[in-house]
């Protein structure tokens, strides 16, 4: 069962890409591949000040992972204990079926090894009781490591406060 | 399998000049990860450049050994040398220059900041008064403005965003040109309800979070402040008690401000008069918990100095000095009840000679702490006021940061010796006679850093891993040079540990006290001075001098009439530059990971103006001024003032050994011909550069 979720607080995110850099240095990801990415979308002008969304795109670790279902060797698989989807480089044959299957573009090609690799929520850190590098190093604490249900509750509470205070931004 | 050796080292980042506290994870003698120091930041938050320090340390495109020039200056023909060879070479030439022209013919420039004591001590021990730093291209005007008006600098005060209710940022892109603690603190403040106004010539990520974004005509920020002051005085919105106690020159201000109404400012700036009036009232409601951000890189126009003065005038009118949520004074060792950390400079005899740059003679109101780097080519070429023949350039790159590198090079090329001490191939290092490669901040320990602030502390940059390549720490390089030049006695140490113990000797603090958390708090409590009687303004009167004695005594008006910045001639645009979160101008462009995210700058243009020239986003354009042309990709936007174009500073690197950054994007400062000038604030008027733009494909 997928236990984890990275909640991104748009009000706190400044689009600085520290998440990407902490991910890359932690996992020694070669140039050309990124386990996570910030995609700026905007600016858009619905009010007097143009706003922008910085959409955080790690792997979402689907409950029904398209990548794992497409994998012919079982290299891509969901960890039973917590639902982290990770690839075993020893079993991967570099067929790229997972890249084709993933609707989010999360699976990355490692040009140095001819295998795929991807965000595994820094599972070695998770196993030590730590949080993923992107969350830990985030400049403004915009990323939060939480369970999906806790995150949606937090978001709902914040939205409620905004409604109560009549604030729209 | 052998066990992994893990270690945590607390240190201080050097990827930019903010110097954030860091926690370095070391595994088997290699840097595994760099985080923010949680004991100081409350978490392991660290900006992208800080995180990228690891690949910087690993980079084979750093300077790998001492280099002595073989070809012409800047030609790129080098001989790799031993340290003894290179140090002897430098020392011999310095001795020859000193013998022929006197010690003042040697000058030393650096990047400024918290680690300057050793450089200052070195040049002073040689007998030269000529220390200067990078601030002529950066923050001279704001430092010198605060100095004249309040006897402070920009960085002897700190923003109390945690308690702030209302902030105005003038072109200060606080969420893209970032320091970790400041950016996080600013976001925390927004979450706590702080409101902020962003005044800028273009929309950016900071503007995106603002409560109000005011697109202003370039260079007219001063006019907004004058209209705010006008409204605040006219409607008596100021803190009468604070002003009566701490301000002199209020009557002169009242007389001066009369013509500068919001209606006047609307015509000048493009910002509606009623908006300016509304802001004045919002400020008055929030005072004294208001911040007028002083600015960071403030080398803007010729009149920037007066704009910065107006920021301090507003701060005083709102009574925001030493108020919760306002501008808090930084305190040092003494204020916390400690004996000071020893500095090397204090034990070196003072040098009472005229400076090369006119500070203290031609420019009596400007501070020698920063000097005027823009005067160096003039001094060299004209022997004015005397011959300058050797330049020691430490972690500083005037050929990248100052306008008109060709003019700068013309001066440097007449030197007998140009030595660059740097971790990088800077443009200046590439033009030098000798490069002495410093090891990176991850590979060296530096002297103790006194971190002044409302809660003063001592920090330490500590070596985490062995130096890669044949690079050496600063303390060793300067000690070696000092020994060779007969001034070794002013560097009383053989190891950095001995130096640190000597520095800490009087404080009662030990080197090992830094082990656990990487810093030592001095007292640990926030120190606030009494707003009724305890504020320390280091002016002759002890007050905030709206009419500044430092200016008036030197024949400079405190309140000259407002001068409207020039509108660009038909078909031209004011060239403005700035930063983003993933780069420290030119110094980080070759970093493998940072370069991957951003390898080129683009030219931001207003959509209407671009339309007139047939330019669309993605087009290649030529940007030209004064016979210089740069080529770059256009970025057309709705959110840019039509009088200006914008690009990120520092791109277009011309050092071939930096393969990832080489010739990527445009090199902005080459277009700024003739701007190696000294404006009234000691800054170069960097934004007084007008360019034409032409589509080429």
Could you report the per-residue pLDDT of B528-552, keeping only the tens digit for each? 999 999 999 999 999 999 999 999 9
Same domain, residue pair B126 and B272: no
* Chain B contact set for A32 (CB, 8 A): 596
Taking contacts as CB-CB distances below 8 angstroms, the residues of chain B near A22 are 33, 35, 46, 51
Is B79 contained in some domain? yes
CA distance B593 to B197: 33
In chain A, what are the domain boundaries?
5-161
Q: What is the mean pLDDT of residues B193-200?
A: 98
Write down which residue in B408, B435, B451 finishes a domain: B451
Query: What value does the mean pLDDT take over residues B389-417?
Result: 98
Give me the CATH code for the A5-161 domain, please.
3.30.70.20
- B486 falls in which pLDDT band (50, 70, 90)? very high
Q: Quick one: pLDDT at residue A162?
A: 78
Regarding whether B78 and B199 lie in a shared domain, the answer is: no
Residue B8 near chain A (CB below 8 Å): no
CA distance B213 to chain A (A): 6
Is residue B185's pLDDT more than 60? yes
Residues of chain B with pLDDT > 70: what percent? 100
Residue A168 has a pLDDT of: 45
Mean pLDDT value of segment B81-110: 98
For B493-502, the pLDDT digits (tens) are: 999 999 999 9
Same domain, B609 and B654: yes
Q: Which residues of B touch A18 (CB under 8 A)?
A: 45-48, 50-51, 581
- Is it the case that residue A167 has pLDDT exceeding 70? no
- The shortest C-alpha distance from A129 to chain B (Å) reads 15
Average pLDDT for B8-27 = 98
Contact B45 A14 (CB under 8 A): no
- Give the integer Cα–Cα distance in Å for B548 and B585: 35
Are B134 and B416 contacting, i.e. CB atoms less than 8 angstroms apart?
A: no
CATH number, domain with residue B673: 2.40.40.20
Give percent of chain B with pLDDT exceeding 90. 99
Classify the phi-psi angles of B74: left when phi > 0, otherwise alpha if psi is within -120 to 50, otherwise beta.
Answer: left
Nearest to B187 among A12, A43, A52 (CB): A12
CB proximity B46 to A under 8 Å: yes
Nearest residue to B283 (alpha-carbon basis) of B326, B219, B328: B326
Same domain, B292 and B417: no
- Asked if residues B348 and B125 have their Cβ atoms less than 8 Å apart, the reply is yes
Verify that B316 and B351 share a domain, yes or no: no
Residues of B in contact with A140 (CB under 8 A): 45, 183-184, 187
What is the gyration radius of the CA atoms in chain A, in angstroms? 17
Name the band, by pLDDT with cuts 50, 70 and 90, for residue B2. low
Q: Are residues B599 and B547 in the same domain?
A: no
pLDDT average, residue stretch B640-663 = 98
d(Cα B248, Cα B246) in Å, to the nearest integer?
Answer: 7
Confidence at residue A157, expressed as pLDDT on a 0 to 100 scale: 86
- The predicted model gives B646-654 an average pLDDT of 98
- Among the listed ranges A44-58, B164-178, B307-321, which one has the minimum average pLDDT value? A44-58
Residues of A in contact with B215 (CB under 8 A): none
Q: Cis (ω within 30 of 0) for the bond into B385?
A: yes
**Within-domain flag for B478:** no
- Tell me phi and psi for residue B446, to 5 degrees: -115, 165
Cross-chain Cβ contact A16/B47 below 8 Å: yes
- What string of H, E and C letters represents the secondary structure of A28-95? CCCCCCCCCEEEEEEEECCCCCCEEEEEEECCCCCCCCHHHHHCCCCCEEECCCCCCEEECCCCCCCC
- How far apart (Å, rounded) are the C-alpha atoms in residues A106 and A108? 6
Residues B586 and B545 in one domain: no
pLDDT value at A1 more than 80: no
Domain end, chosen from B428, B451, B474, is at: B451
Confidence of residue A169 (pLDDT cuts 50, 70, 90): very low
In order of A74, A119, B29, the CA distances from A125 in angstroms are: 23, 12, 20
- Tally of domains in chain B: 3
The partner residue sitting opposite A26, judged by closest CB among B33, B36, B211, is: B33
Residue A81 confidence (pLDDT) above 70: yes
Tell me whether residue B462 is in a domain.
Answer: no
Each residue of A97-150: pLDDT tens digit? 999 999 999 999 999 999 999 999 999 999 999 999 999 999 999 999 988 888
Residue linked to tokens 């702490």: B369
Q: What is the mean pLDDT of residues A28-42?
A: 97
Distances (CA, A) of B264 to B224, B232, B589, B594: 10, 15, 43, 45
Residue B469 lies in a domain: no
Which pLDDT belongs to residue A166? Answer: 64
Same-domain status, B185 and B120: no
Range of the domain at B322: 140-329+528-552
What is the CATH number for B275?
A: 3.40.228.10
* CATH code of B106's domain: 3.40.50.740
The shortest CB-CB distance from B180 to any of A11, A42, A139 is to A139
Instruction: Give the pLDDT confidence of B234-280 residue by residue, as tens digits.
Output: 999 999 999 999 999 999 999 999 999 999 999 999 999 999 999 99
Note the pLDDT of residue B228.
98
Predicted local distance difference test score (pLDDT) of residue A147: 82
Mean pLDDT, chain B, rounded, equals 97
pLDDT at B86: 98
């Amino acid at each position: 069962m997928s236990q984890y979720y990275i909640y991104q607080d748009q009000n706190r995110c400044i689009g600085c890409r520290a998440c990407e850099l902490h991910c890359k240095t932690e996992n020694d990801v070669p140039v050309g591949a990124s386990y996570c990415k910030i995609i700026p979308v905007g600016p858009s002008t619905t009010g007097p000040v143009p706003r922008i969304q910085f959409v955080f795109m790690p792997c979402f670790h689907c409950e029904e992972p398209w990548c794992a279902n497409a994998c012919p060797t079982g290299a891509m698989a969901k960890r039973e204990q917590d639902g982290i989807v990770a690839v075993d480089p020893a079993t991967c044959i570099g067929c790229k079926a997972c890249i084709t299957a993933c609707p989010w573009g999360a699976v990355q090609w490692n040009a140095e090894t001819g295998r795929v690799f991807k965000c595994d929520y820094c599972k070695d850190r998770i196993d030590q009781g730590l949080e993923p590098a992107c969350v830990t190093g985030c400049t403004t604490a915009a990323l939060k490591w939480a369970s999906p249900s806790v995150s949606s509750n937090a978001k709902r509470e914040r939205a409620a406060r905004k409604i109560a205070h009549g604030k729209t931004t | 399998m052998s066990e992994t050796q893990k270690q945590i080292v607390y240190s201080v980042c050097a990827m930019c000049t903010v110097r954030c506290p860091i926690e370095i994870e070391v595994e088997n003698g290699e840097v595994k990860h760099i985080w923010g120091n949680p004991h100081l930041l409350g978490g392991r938050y660290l900006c992208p450049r800080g995180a990228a320090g690891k690949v910087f340390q690993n980079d084979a495109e750093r300077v790998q050994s001492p280099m002595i020039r073989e070809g012409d200056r800047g030609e790129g023909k080098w001989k790799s040398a031993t340290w003894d060879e290179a140090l002897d070479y430098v020392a011999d030439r310095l001795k020859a220059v000193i013998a022929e022209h006197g010690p003042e013919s040697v000058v030393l420039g650096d990047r400024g900041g918290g680690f300057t004591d050793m450089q200052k001590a070195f040049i002073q021990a040689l007998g030269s008064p000529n220390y200067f730093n990078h601030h002529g291209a950066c923050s001279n005007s704001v430092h010198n403005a605060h100095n004249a008006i309040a006897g402070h600098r920009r960085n002897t005060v700190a923003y109390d965003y945690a308690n702030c209710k209302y902030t105005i940022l003038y072109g200060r892109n606080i969420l893209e040109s970032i320091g970790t603690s400041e950016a996080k603190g600013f976001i925390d403040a927004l979450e706590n309800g702080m409101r902020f106004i962003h005044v800028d010539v273009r929309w950016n990520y900071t503007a995106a979070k603002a409560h109000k974004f005011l697109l202003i005509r370039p260079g007219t920020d001063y006019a907004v402040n004058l209209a705010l002051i006008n409204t605040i005085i006219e409607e008596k919105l100021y803190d009468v008690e604070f002003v009566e106690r701490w301000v002199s020159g209020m009557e002169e201000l009242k007389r001066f401000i009369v013509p500068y109404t919001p209606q006047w400012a609307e015509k000048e700036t493009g910002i509606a008069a009623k908006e300016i009036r509304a802001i004045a009232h919002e400020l008055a409601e929030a005072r004294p918990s208001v911040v007028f951000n002083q600015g960071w890189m403030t080398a803007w126009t010729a009149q920037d100095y007066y704009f910065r003065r107006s920021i301090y005038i507003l701060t005083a009118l709102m009574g925001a000095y030493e108020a919760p949520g306002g501008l808090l004074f930084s305190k040092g060792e003494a204020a916390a009840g400690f004996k000071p950390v020893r500095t090397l400079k204090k034990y070196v005899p003072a040098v009472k000679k005229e400076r090369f740059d006119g500070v203290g003679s031609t420019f009596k109101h400007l501070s020698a702490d920063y000097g005027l780097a823009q005067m160096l080519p003039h001094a060299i070429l004209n022997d004015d006021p005397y011959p300058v023949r050797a330049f020691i350039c430490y972690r500083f790159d005037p050929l990248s940061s100052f306008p008109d590198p060709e003019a700068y090079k013309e001066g440097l090329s007449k030197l007998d010796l140009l030595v660059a001490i740097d971790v990088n191939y800077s443009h200046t290092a590439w033009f030098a006679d000798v490069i002495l490669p410093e090891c990176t901040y991850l590979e060296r320990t530096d002297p103790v850093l006194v971190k002044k602030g409302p809660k003063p502390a001592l920090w330490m940059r500590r070596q985490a891993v062995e130096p890669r390549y044949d690079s050496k720490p600063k303390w060793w390089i300067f000690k070696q040079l000092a020994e060779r030049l007969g001034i070794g006695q002013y560097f009383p140490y053989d190891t950095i540990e001995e130096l640190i113990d000597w520095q800490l000797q009087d404080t009662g603090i030990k080197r090992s006290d830094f082990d656990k958390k990487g810093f030592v708090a001095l007292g640990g409590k926030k120190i606030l001075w009494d707003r009724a009687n305890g504020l320390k303004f280091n002016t002759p009167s002890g007050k905030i001098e709206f009419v500044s004695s430092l200016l008036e005594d030197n024949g400079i008006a405190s309140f000259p009439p407002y001068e409207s910045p020039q509108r660009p001639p038909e078909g031209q645009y004011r060239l403005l530059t700035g930063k983003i979160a993933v780069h420290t101008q030119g110094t980080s462009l070759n970093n493998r990971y940072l370069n991957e995210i951003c390898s080129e700058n683009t030219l931001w243009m207003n959509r209407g103006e671009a339309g007139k020239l047939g330019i669309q986003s993605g087009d290649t354009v030529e940007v030209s001024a004064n016979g210089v042309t740069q080529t770059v990709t256009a970025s057309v936007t709705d959110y840019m003032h039509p009088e200006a174009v914008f690009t990120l500073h520092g791109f277009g690197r011309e050092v071939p050994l930096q393969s990832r950054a080489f010739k990527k994007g445009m090199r902005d400062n080459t277009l700024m011909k003739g701007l190696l000038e000294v404006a009234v604030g000691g800054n170069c008027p960097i934004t007084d550069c007008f360019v034409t733009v032409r589509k080429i494909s």
